[in-house]
Chain A
Amino acid sequence: MDGSRKTTCPARRGRNQRNRGAATGLAVCLAATLAACGSSSKPAAPSPSSSPSSPSSPGSPGSSGSSAAGAPVGVSLILKTLTNPYFVTMENDAKAAAAKDNVTLTVAAGAKDGDTQTQISAIDNAISRGDKGILITTNGDAVNTALNQAKQAGLFVIALDTALNPPSVADITYATDNEQAGKLDGQYAAAALGGKPAVIAMLDLFNNQIVSVDIQRDHGFLEGMGISPGSTTQNGQEAKSGNYSGGTYTIACHQPTGGAVDGGRTAMENCLSAHPDINVVYSINEPAGEGASNALKAAGKTAQAMVLTIDGSCAGLKLVTSGEFAADTAQYPGKMAGLGIDAIAKLARGGSKPSVTNGKTFFDTGTALVATKSVPGVTIQSPSDAASACWGK
């Protein structure tokens, strides 16, 4: 299956990578002052009443039938950072699952994106503490050696959100299928057009086209519309005009947004200037989509164009309700962490190992298309239904 071809990582990660570039990796001096990154260990109280208030997503910690009886199981959750709501949601849902499964959870996180040293120490600590497993959103390949040692010591390693490089360093990966996420948006756009000619703006992440999520979402969207991406490794290689599943199409532009609001706005403004009749806007993530929506508003063209995006944050769902986004494909960071805790707890108590989703190289934590207007042939979730599983504030 094509969707399993590459590692997955959400645009969120890409955004942070960009910061790394902008700061030319000079935040080193800062790391010294901020090195006191969160690493707190406390046994989770068995009673769910004292678990932290977190949006317990419906599909979240699955009732896998693992008995919570017996000695507590030690698990380490090692996040990229704790400054991003995407990862904070992982922490919260992991704590909720830990309380349910009688797991002693230790949370650690890098001081900033790319901080592998803190993650390596956290892995070493997990081994010496005798934890049964590690859940990690990696900050880089430097953690691989430590993770291999952990596996030799008998720990079960689960990569969350982003596959390791190579993916086999982890025992299994829990992640979003980004190509599928893009595909859902594309199918929705094609159905919503109802046969009208499509003029499409593609608002990507970067112009270097090396971040896998950038390619997967872009290509997924085009495939969802029934357009061949024309390449497996590069964006912008599709035919500039032709037929989509419902009629004829024109690609108006491929522009980088940096995954930020101002980048999305400038990109959309330039696209609109060249093609005032754009009626479909793909955006790599919610901030880029918000910028595009601002540009459409300023140009008085909100009625003519639909903005489709990917993220599923709580703030983003509100923009679906208010009509800025025609559709937003949700991903579930909390579910990745919750299911990961469940899996290790089950394994440690004699259960079986978790297995990958059929036809993929990773465990797909699922995606859902959130929209207010239903279109033929596409399953949608209303923003209010989706809100129970959204991430961030």
Chain B
Amino acid sequence: MTTHVGGEAPPPSAEELLSRPPTPAQRVHAVLHRQPALSPAIVLILAGVAFGLLNDRFYRLENLSLVAQQVAVVGSLAAGQTLIVLTAGIDLSIGAVMVLASLVMSKLVFDQGVPGVLVLLIGASIAVLAEAVNGLLVTQVRLPPFIVTLGTLSVFTAITLIYAQGQTVSLKPGAFLLWSGKTVSVGSLHLTTGVLMMIALYAVIGFALRYTAWGRHLYAVGDDADASRLAGISVKRVLLSAYMTAGAAIAVAAWILVGRVGGGDPNSGLNANLESITAVVIGGTSLFGGRGVVLGSLIGAFIVQVFVNGLALAGYDPNYQVLAVGLLVIAAVSVDQWIRSVKA
């Protein structure tokens, strides 16, 4: 023990700093850091309360089930997008791949009468192959994901338009491909099989990310690719697998889209590329990679749709929906920055 002359308090030792009780802000910070899906969940609940107050129709099961149906397509895409964003990548072409797959499937059934199961396999192969192209350009040609998918966005969109000849394809009611749009009613909750498919997709991807070596490697690569390589992880293989698994998720989204549209429409999925990224970002997954959970993206997709539906129910001009979603994105990224700011 040293005695200080002059009566000043001694500077705190390291041990004292460590044992000091955290401030409230630090507590919140720590909780949010551990639970990336928590802040979007709070936003979703608050939004639900607010819109319920604006129009009591919002809480009707019929309306909530509509929101679920509207989320199914972008929600499934967001599951795939999450995998890519977790690797610190981004996929701007994800919606274009979905529309391409949905159109090829619809047209094969409509023009050639190819059996539904075979068509599904073809559609899934197209989605996985398209994403493999993205993955290979990122891993082998070493282009930034932003640039790669900016290019393939145009390529896939153009292929779709050329193939479709501007034509919308409507399948006959009862076609196997339309199974994803079939209504599943529980009381006055009218879900579609597409919604259930999306939930199953999240369960599978959530499990794989949390409990498999592949999932842990994905986080590791996204957090620090160099360290992962030194730790013996095949970074390229993990990256490629992330894109191809996203392709499988896109295939699910494409099937749900066919059910929703009742066929194929080359002009559908207008904003799906950006909406999927919006859902992922609002869902708390960091664009810098390595942090986030897939459940957050589902919540993020719901938040966006709840805002669109809620503001429409309350009778606001559609432009306010766009405004609200934009503000949400900025808020979400700000929270992400704050959470990442104190690494200690």
Contact = CB atoms under 8 A, between A and B. Distances in A.
Contacts of A19: 157, 161, 267
Nearest to B322: A207
A55 interface: no
Contact of B167 (A28, A262, A294, A392): A392
Contacts, number: 126
Contact of B267 (A27, A85, A256, A258): A258
Contacts of B69: 269, 298
Interface stretch (B13-21, B75-83, B196-204, B268-276): B268-276
A85 B266 CA distance: 13
A110 interface: no
A42 interface: no
Interface string B287-311: 0000000000000000000001100
A121 interface: no
Interface stretch (A101-109, A146-154, A270-278): A270-278
Given A273-B313, A274-B313, A255 B270 contact: no
A294 B257 CA distance: 13
Nearest to B270: A258
A19 B161 CA distance: 10
Contacts of B315: 253, 274
Interface string B228-262: 00000000000000000000000000000100111
B157 A393 contact: no
Nearest to A253: B312
A298 B322 contact: no
Contacts of A258: 267, 270
B317 interface: yes
Given A83-B162, A260-B267, A271-B312, A315 B260 contact: no
Q: Kindly name the residue among B60, B260, B263 whose own CB sees the greatest number of chain A CB atoms within 10 A.
A: B260
A182 interface: no
Given A22-B273, A274-B57, A393-B167, A294 B158 contact: no
Contacts of A294: 260-262
Q: Kindly name the residue among B161, B162, B271, B308 whose own CB sees the greatest number of chain A CB atoms within 10 A.
A: B161
A319 B158 CA distance: 28
A254 B261 contact: no
Contacts of B224: none
A30 B154 contact: yes
Contact of A207 (B60, B157, B318): B318
Contacts of B60: 273
Contacts of A259: 267
Nearest to B95: A22
A273 B270 contact: no
B161 A83 contact: yes
A18 interface: yes
A262 B261 contact: yes
B154 A274 contact: no
B312 A261 contact: no
A112 interface: yes
A23 B157 contact: yes
Interface string A38-79: 000000000000000000000000000000000000000000
Contacts of B257: 262
B150 interface: yes
Given A207-B318, A207-B319, A269-B66, A34 B170 contact: no
A224 interface: no
B168 A262 contact: no
B166 A315 contact: no
Given A255-B318, A258-B270, A270 B166 contact: no
Given A19-B157, A273-B309, A274-B315, A261 B166 contact: no
Given A85-B167, A262-B269, A265-B260, A273 B154 contact: no
25 contacts: A18-B270, A26-B151, A26-B153, A28-B154, A29-B154, A30-B155, A84-B166, A207-B317, A253-B312, A254-B318, A260-B265, A260-B270, A261-B263, A261-B268, A262-B73, A266-B70, A269-B70, A273-B309, A274-B55, A274-B57, A274-B315, A286-B168, A291-B261, A294-B260, A298-B183
Interface of A: 15, 18-19, 22-23, 26-30, 34, 83-86, 88, 112, 207, 236, 253-256, 258-263, 265-266, 269-271, 273-274, 286-287, 290-291, 294, 298, 315, 319, 392-393
Given A84-B166, A258-B267, A392-B167, 7 more contacts: A18-B267, A30-B158, A207-B319, A255-B318, A273-B57, A274-B55, A294-B261
